[in-house]
Amino acid sequence: MRPLVLTIALLALAGVTADVQTPDVKVITGATLINPTSATAVPNTVIVITGGRITQAGPAASVKPNLGAEVIDARGKFVIPGLADMHNHLGVGGMSFGPQRENYVANLGRLLAVGVTTVFAPGVGEAEFMNLKAAAAPDGSPYARFFGTGPAITVPGGSLGEQGPAPRTVDEARAVVQKLKAANVDAIKFHRDDLAWASKRTIQPMALDVMQAVIDEAHRQGLRAYVHAPQLGRAKEALRAGVDGLMHGIIDEPIDQDFIALMKKNNAVYVPTLGLFGHPERIKDFGYRAIHLMTLRGKEIANAFYGAAAQTAYFAGCSTGGQNALMEAQRFPEDYNGILAGAAAFNRTHLHMAALSVWQNTHATPGRFIQPGQLTLINNAVLAQCAGHDDGLATDQFLTDPRACKFDPKVLQCTGSSVPPACLTAEQVTTMQNAYAGTSDPQNGQLINPGAARGSETDNVFALGLAFQQGLPEPPFDGLFYWVFGPSFGVLSSATNYANFDFHRDVRTVDDQLADTLNAVSTDLSDFNRRGNKLLMYHGWADPLIPPQSSINYFNALAKIERGNGGDRAEVQQVDFRPGDGNKLATTQRYARLFMVPGMYHCSGGPGPNAFDALTPLVQWVEQGVAPETIVATKFVNDTPPAVQMTRPLCLFPKVAKYTGSGDPNVAANFVCVAHDLDSQTPAPKFGP
C-alpha cells in the first residue's frame, strides 16, 4: 500500500459531508492529520475517501463515516495532503540524455518520500515515458503517480532538435501527435519560442499552421495541448490557436488584459515560473529561513510520533544543501548537534558571479568555445604533468592536491599543421587560463571567487563544469540576478544583462541586496562550538562547479571569538597553519573538520574514490567524542557496486594521502596522511572567505 499521503487538498478539518455516489468508500482512522494551511496537527482523525475523493476529514468525534466502508487503521501514523508537481523532467537538464535515465524512476520514489504524490512531466523521451508509466502504475508502487507528454514537439534545429520530433508540415504535425497518442501520452507539449536552448542563437519558431495542426490533432485525439512559450507574443499566438495551457510563466514583459482574456476563454492552465524578484520574504526563505522552519516543524512531528524529544539532531547536505548546512551552524546553532556540509555553495552571490564570468569568458568570441573532446585533452595533459608530483601516484587518473599543479594550457597551443580539437587555439588557451584564474574585478584585480582546480576538466556535461556551462543560452544559475535587476536581466539590449554584467560596477549592487541574506560567510561559530556541536565538511578536489578552494578558504577563516581589550567587542582571528600559529588549528578542529576528496566531481562521481560514509564518523564524533582523522573512500568499477577498483583514505585537512611505498597501491591501508601547506586562491576580504 502507498504511504498515507493524500493527493486531494482537504475540504475541511471540522468535518465535511458529501453525498455518496459510489460504493467505493475507504475510511482512515486514528491518524494524526497535518493541516499545512494552519500548521496544525490534529490527532485521532477520521478521513473518508469516497470514489477516490476525500469527502470527510476531521476529529473522530465530528466525522460520521458510512457503514460498511473499508477501514484502514492508521494509529501512530501521520497523514498530510499530497503535493502535485506540474512541471518536473525528473533529471538534470530535463530531457532524454542517457546518463540520467537510470535516475528517472528513482526520482519518482524520492518525490513521494517528501510528499509529492503526483508528477506531470512535460517532456521526457518516449522510452523513459513508458518506463515511468510502468513503474508508477501499480497501486502499491513506491512511486509518485506519473503523468506526462512524452517528448516535446519542436522545430528542426530547435529546442530539442535531437530528442523531440520536429514536424515541418501540417501533415507531419498530425502524424507526430497520432504517434504520441499511440504511445499513451497524457497530453501534448510543443515549443513556440524562438530560442535554441543548446546555444544562444535564435531560430525560426514553429510555423503557425503547424502549431494549429498540433493543437487541433491533439484535441481530435482527446488530448490537451500545452505550449512552451515564455514570451508574451508567442504565448498569445498559441492561446488564439486554442492551446490548453502554458508550461512556463511569461518572462519577457508584463502580461496584459488581452492575455488574461485569452487564458479565460480557453480555460487554460498556467504553470508559473516562480521568480523571487520583488519578493524579499521568499528570498529569505531560500537563503536561510525555510530550512530552520522545516527543522522546527520536523522536530515537533518526530517528538509527537515518538512521544519524546530527540536527544541529538543531524543535518547533511551538499551544494545548496552545504550552504543550508553552514547557514544552520551560523544562524541557528541550537538546531543541530552535528552538521555535514559538502561542497557548500556558501559564498552564494560570488559563486553565481563566477558562473556569469565563465559564460562570458567562453562567449567573448566564437573562437573562445572549448570544442567537444578538448577538455579531455586538457585533463590528460594536466595529469601527465602533475600526477605523482602532489604526493599522489603517477598512475592516478586524478590529482591528490591540485594546488601543487602549475599546468599552463599554453603548452597545448596549436603549432605547425596541428589544428583543433587535437590542440588549442590561442583564444582557447585564454579561455582556460581565465577559468583557472577565477573571477576578478577588472579594474583593481581583486579576486571575487576562486577559479577551477586543475584536474577538474571533463567533457561530461553532467559534472556541471565548463562543458555544461558554456553550452547554455545564458549563464547557468543566473536566477538570483533577476531578483536584483528584474526580467530585463535576460534582455541583451538592457542596461545590465547576463552578457554585459560588470564585475566592478555591478558586484556591489548585487551584494548590497542579497549578500546578507544568501551568503553563509560568517566565521563566528562560537555559539555552535560552545554547545558542543560538530561540523564536518567535505569537498571534491575535481569539483568543476564549485571550486574546491572555496571550502578550504572557509575552513581557513574559521575563527575563535576572543574578548577585546575592553571586553565589549568580538575580535575575529583567522586560522592559518604557519609556524608559530600556536594551537589555532587544533582549537578549530575540536569542532570543525574538513576532508578533501581526490578526484571527486560535484558532490559525487568523478575518476577518484568518490563513495564514502561521512555521516557515521560525524555521529561518532558527536555522541562518543571520537573525532575522525581519516575516512575511507572507495572507487567502484564503473562507479557501480559491488566490484571495487580501489580504496584511498580521505585525510583530515590540511593533510593528504601519500603511498607508503609498499603494498597494493589500490588499498587504503597502504597510505599515510602527510601535511600539505600550499598557496591558495583567497578572495579579497570584502568578497571572502
E strand residue ranges, 22-141? 25-35, 40-50, 53-59, 70-73, 78-81, 83-85, 116-121
Per-residue pLDDT for 675 more than 70? yes
Per-residue pLDDT for 6 more than 60? no
pLDDT of res. 231: 84
Per-residue pLDDT, averaged over 33-60, amounts to: 83
Full set of structural domains in the chain with CATH: 5-81 (2.30.40.10), 150-273 (3.20.20.140), 348-518 (no CATH)
Q: Please say whether the beta carbons of 220 and 233 come within 8 A.
A: no
Per-residue pLDDT, averaged over 121-143, amounts to: 76
Q: Say which residues have a Cβ less than 8 Å from residue 9's Cβ, sequence separation at least 6.
A: 81
3 state SS of 5? strand
Per-residue pLDDT for 42 more than 80? yes
Per-residue pLDDT for 264 more than 90? yes
Catalytic residue among 89, 350, 363, 602: 602
pLDDT of res. 221: 97
Q: Say which residues have a Cβ less than 8 Å from residue 442's Cβ, sequence separation at least 6.
A: 503, 504
pLDDT of res. 104: 73
Which one-letter DSSP state was computed for residue 503? T
pLDDT of res. 138: 67
- Of the ranges 268-272, 435-439, 494-498, the best mean pLDDT one: 435-439
Question: Is residue 285 among the annotated active site residues?
Answer: no
pLDDT of res. 139: 66
Lowest mean pLDDT among 222-231, 544-553, 577-586: 577-586
Per-residue pLDDT for 126 more than 90? no
Q: What percentage of residues in the chain have a pLDDT greater than 70? A: 87
| pLDDT-derived band at 160, boundaries 50, 70, 90 | very low
User: Which is more confidently placed, 396 or 154?
Assistant: 396
pLDDT of res. 578: 43
CA quadruple 412, 418, 424, 429: dihedral sign: positive
Lowest mean pLDDT among 163-177, 606-620, 645-659: 163-177
Per-residue pLDDT, averaged over 186-193, amounts to: 90
What average pLDDT does the chain have? 86
SS3 content of the chain, % helix, strand, coil (to 5): 35, 20, 45
User: Which is more confidently placed, 580 or 323?
Assistant: 323
pLDDT of res. 537: 98
| pLDDT-derived band at 319, boundaries 50, 70, 90 | very high
| pLDDT-derived band at 339, boundaries 50, 70, 90 | very high
Per-residue pLDDT for 56 more than 50? yes
Catalytic residue among 543, 550, 551, 676: 543
**Which residue's C-alpha cell is 602549475?**
406
Question: Is residue 199 among the annotated active site residues?
Answer: no
Per-residue pLDDT for 501 more than 90? yes
CA angle (648, 649, 654) in 5-degree steps: 130
Per-residue pLDDT, averaged over 503-532, amounts to: 95
H helices of 11-144, in order, are 101-113, 126-136
Report, in angstroms and rounded to the nearest whole number, the Rg of the chain calculated over CA atoms. 28
pLDDT of res. 202: 60
Kindly report, residue by residue over 402-459, the tens digit of the pLDDT. Answer: 999 999 999 999 999 999 999 999 999 999 999 999 999 999 999 999 999 999 999 9
Per-residue pLDDT for 241 more than 90? yes
User: Which is more confidently placed, 145 or 319?
Assistant: 319
pLDDT of res. 672: 97
H helices of 120-255, in order, are 126-136, 170-182, 208-220, 232-240
pLDDT of res. 638: 92
Question: Is residue 391 among the annotated active site residues?
Answer: no
Per-residue pLDDT for 513 more than 90? yes
Per-residue pLDDT for 192 more than 50? yes
Long-range contacts from 409-416, C-beta under 8 angstroms, 24+ separation = 409/378, 409/381, 409/433, 409/436, 411/381, 411/385, 412/377, 412/378, 412/381
Kindly report, residue by residue over 590-648, the tens digit of the pLDDT. Answer: 999 999 999 999 999 999 999 999 999 999 999 999 999 999 999 999 999 999 999 99
Catalytic residue among 319, 440, 456, 550: 319
Q: Please say whether the beta carbons of 333 and 592 come within 8 A.
A: no
- The structure's pTM equals 0.72
Per-residue pLDDT, averaged over 78-94, amounts to: 74
Q: Is the peptide bond before 280 cis (omega within 30 degrees of 0)?
A: no
3 state SS of 378? helix
| CA distances, 619 to each of 204, 338, 537 (Å) | 57, 7, 14
